[in-house]
Amino acid sequence: MTERKKYNVAVVGATGAVGEKIIKILEEKDFPIQELKLLSSKRSAGTKLVFKNEEITVEEATDDSFKGVDIALFSAGGSVSKRFAPSAIKHGAVVVDNTSAYRMDENVPLVVPEVNEADIASHQGIIANPNCSTIQMVTALKPIQDHFGLSRVIVSTYQAVSGAGAQANNELEEQSKQYLNGEEMQAEILPVKGDKKHYPIAFNALPQIDVFQENGYTFEEMKMINETKKIMHTPELSVTATCVRLPFFTSHAESIYVEVEKDGLSVKDIWEVLENADGVLLEDDPSTQTYPTPLSAANKEEVFVGRVRKDLDHEKGFHMWVVSDNLIKGAAWNTVQIAEKLIANNWLS
């Protein structure tokens, strides 16, 4: 019996919503860890977290934090990644970055293992984890692209508040109570904490996720458009998106319309490739009202697909309803998956 090689792993942003999920998944998946280093801002340093029944004190991230670290999982915001990823690389660590800081950098692979695992091999120290809404979409699109070709994607999203952080969760909870008690709702966080105006999310829908760009799209919509093309290696694929924040805590849902290249496909053809696709679970049976919902997908690692239908007026058009936990496959699990692939393929150095 050979001893598995073990690695020194750092989690940057350990006390955040995604950081906590990463630590939980590292434990559940029995990731081969020699030493786990939990890092945060000065404010959260000193917090004690438990990993495999052992208490670990969270330390403030500094340039020296990464000495001896093999793999550094960043999930503390783009500015923290920009500040400390270079130090981590200098000390020999490979960074898996779950922020938008490096995603569109042409020297940085942007990876969903089910879609483009091989891209990890070309990393120069950083692998980027895509945006949550992008990850679940490309996981469902990839098998269709592989088997039938894709020419067009039009998506409307139904996104949970947890994508905007723990404060947004609290806001939804507080506003819901205020509304049900007949009180005025207080809006201070959503749609975007740093933006000029805030609107209630409880019992409402906000067609703005992240800030507006010059072209009228939000940054979230542009992430879905640009990241999808990069991950799938399809700069010519038409992709367009409308992103909407909704009053639920966990899981994003997406109404995705695609046009395939192949003629004469049926819903059964699409079902068949989705049933055999990595990371996808098909939940689609109208006769038993079977389809995924944000609540049914919560705390699970798969991407769930239902409501596959053929456009009645367009031979090559198909609908699907894609749901996944935005903090798990959409963030923490995809990050840990990339780290697993780094090890399994000897792509660390």
Which residues have a catalytic role annotated? 132, 252
Query: Judged by CB under 8 A, does residue 141 bind its own copies?
Result: no
Window 166-195: contact mask with its own copies (x via CB under 8 A): -------x--xx--x----------x---x
From the list 25, 45, 104, 246, which residue makes contact with its own copies (rule: CB under 8 A)? 246
Q: Measured between alpha carbons, how far apart are the two ends of the chain, in Å?
A: 26
Q: Identify whether 143 is preceded by a cis peptide bond (ω within 30 of 0).
A: no
**Annotated binding residue at 307?**
no
Strand partners, 69: none
Residue 192 CA to its chain's centroid (Å):
18
The CA-based dihedral angle spanning residues 107, 111, 115, 117, taken in that order and rounded to the nearest 10 degrees: 80
Cα(242)–Cα(158) distance, integer angstroms: 9
Q: Sketch the per residue contact string, 320 through 349, with its own copies: x for CB under 8 A, - otherwise.
A: -x----------------------------
Residues touching its own copies, count (CB under 8 A): 58
Q: Going by DSSP bridges, is the β-strand pair 238-242/150-158 parallel, antiparallel, or unpaired?
A: parallel
Q: Phi, psi (5° rounding) for residue 144?
A: -70, -45
- 163 touches its own copies (CB under 8 A): no
Applying CB under 8 A, which of residues 46, 118, 146, 203 lies at the interface with its own copies?
Answer: 203
Which amino acid, 71? I
**Which of 38/209 has CB closer to its own copies?**
209
**29 contributes a contact to its own copies by CB under 8 A:** no
The set of residues, in sequence order, having a beta carbon less than 8 Å from that of 283 and lying 6+ positions away, is 290, 291, 292, 296, 304, 305, 306
Between 39 and 187, name the residue whose CB sits nearer to its own copies: 187
What secondary structure does DSSP assign to 245-307, as a single string? B-S-SS-EEEEEEEEESSSS--HHHHHHHHHTSTTEEE--BGGGTB---HHHHTT--SEEEEE
The annotation status of 213 as a binding-site residue, yes or no, is: no
SS3 51: strand
Of the pair 101, 281, the CB lying nearest its own copies is at 281
**Does residue 271 belong to the site contacting its own copies (CB under 8 A)?**
no
Select from 308, 331, 338, 342 the one that contacts its own copies (CB under 8 A).
308
**Is 156 among the annotated ligand-binding positions?**
no
Rounded CA-CA distance 39/66 in Å is 10
Q: Does 282 bind its own copies (CB under 8 A)?
A: no
Is residue 156 near its own copies by the rule CB under 8 A? yes
Closest C-alpha to 264, from 223, 317, 315:
315
44 annotated to bind ligand: yes
Contact with its own copies (CB under 8 A) among 4, 43, 48, 196? 196
SS3 28: helix
Whole-angstrom distance, CA of residue 66 vs CA of residue 90: 9
Rg (CA), the chain: 20
Which one of 22-30, 63-71, 209-217, 328-336 is the stretch in contact with its own copies (CB under 8 A)? 209-217
Instruction: Tell whether residue 275 is a contact of its own copies (CB under 8 A).
Output: no
Q: Is position 83 annotated in a ligand binding site? A: no
Q: Which residues are annotated as a binding site for NADP(+)?
A: 15-18, 43-44, 162-163, 326
Q: Which residues are annotated as a binding site?
A: 15-18, 43-44, 103, 159, 162-163, 245, 326
Q: Which residues are annotated as a binding site for phosphate?
A: 103
Positions that interact with its own copies (CB under 8 A): 152, 154, 156, 158, 173, 176-177, 180, 191, 195-197, 199-200, 203-208, 212, 215-217, 225, 238-240, 242, 244, 246-249, 253, 255, 257, 267, 286-289, 291, 293-295, 306-314, 317, 319, 321
